[in-house]
Amino acid sequence: MDNSVTVGIHQPNFIPWIGYFSKIYQSDIFIFLDDVQFIKTGSNYTNRVAINMHGIPHYITIPIKRGSGVQKISNTQFLNEKWKKKVIGTLQANYAKSPYFLEHKDFVWELINFKADNLATYNIHTIEAISKALNFNTKFIQSSTFNLVSTSTQRLIDLVHKVDGKIYISGEGGDEYQEHTMYKEANIDVIYNKIPHLTYAQPNAKEYVAGLSIIDSIFNIGLKELQSYFLINSKDKIC
């Protein structure tokens, strides 16, 4: 194993799925893209995520204020605070019978009730708290601290260079839009985030429902089992 710094980069999503945390686990440094534009149309996982509701993915959403013009994630504010009580009620109704609900509900409720001035700060707090609970050693940085003006692939390259990275972890579908020649010329190796297979029993579901918020895993198998899941797959960790 060499000492090459592995870097993961992603927008700060709302209590994301286990694949997101897999990327964090494999990263020496994980950079939150907090100063990019909030997507106004289509799927946007910075303010919504799926949970299990009677065996079907159901989205819980943070209502946000929509401004005119370019709106960065770091400038995106909540429409109100009422959604937090609603989300907790929805989780209570759908996970109360899960094996680790009682053990971890206070931890999850504290995350949901966290007060923040903007969406980025809120999501980053949640992701870092869960990563700490899973004993990850990853260092977290926000892209806004670098004040970069570059965009697209060049922006990612610049961010990797800013932290002296040598390896960049891309999503599995990254080769569809990223310019590999640019990474090669920048002396950066691109490796794809491979998500290890994980299934477990879920309440009210006849078949395993994948792609849900990590909350589903926390309530159904617990934080200790999740720690073991990442440790068992540590042989796949990028070195």
- pLDDT tens-digit readout, 177-215: 557 889 999 999 998 887 778 899 998 899 999 999 999
Evaluate if residue 239 carries a pLDDT over 50: no
Residue 194's pLDDT is what? 76
Helix (H, G, I), strand (E, B) or coil at 141: strand
Evaluate if residue 234 carries a pLDDT over 60: no
Task: Write the CB contacts of 205 (distance below 8 Å, at least 6 apart in sequence).
Answer: 52, 54, 55
Evaluate if residue 57 carries a pLDDT over 70: yes
What is the count of structural domains for the chain? 1
**Which region among 49-58, 127-136, 152-161, 224-233 has the lowest average model confidence (pLDDT)?**
224-233
Q: Beta-strand (E) ranges in 69-209?
A: 139-142, 167-170, 189-192
Q: Which domain holds residue 186?
A: 6-236
Residue 43's pLDDT is what? 59
- In the β-sheet with 189-192, what is the strand arrangement from edge to edge? 139-142, 29-32, 6-10, 167-170, 189-192
- Is residue 214 included in any domain, yes or no? yes
| Best CA proximity match to 190, nearest among 208, 172, 210 | 172
Percent of the chain with pLDDT over 90: 72
Residue 177's pLDDT is what? 55
Model confidence at 38, pLDDT cuts 50, 70, 90, reads confident
> pTM for the full model?
0.92
Q: CA-CA distance, 223 to 130, in Å (whole number)?
A: 9
- Is residue 1 included in any domain, yes or no? no
Q: Which residues pair with 60 in a beta bridge?
A: 49
Residue 235's pLDDT is what? 42
Distances (CA, A) of 217 to 4, 62, 109, 116: 31, 21, 15, 25
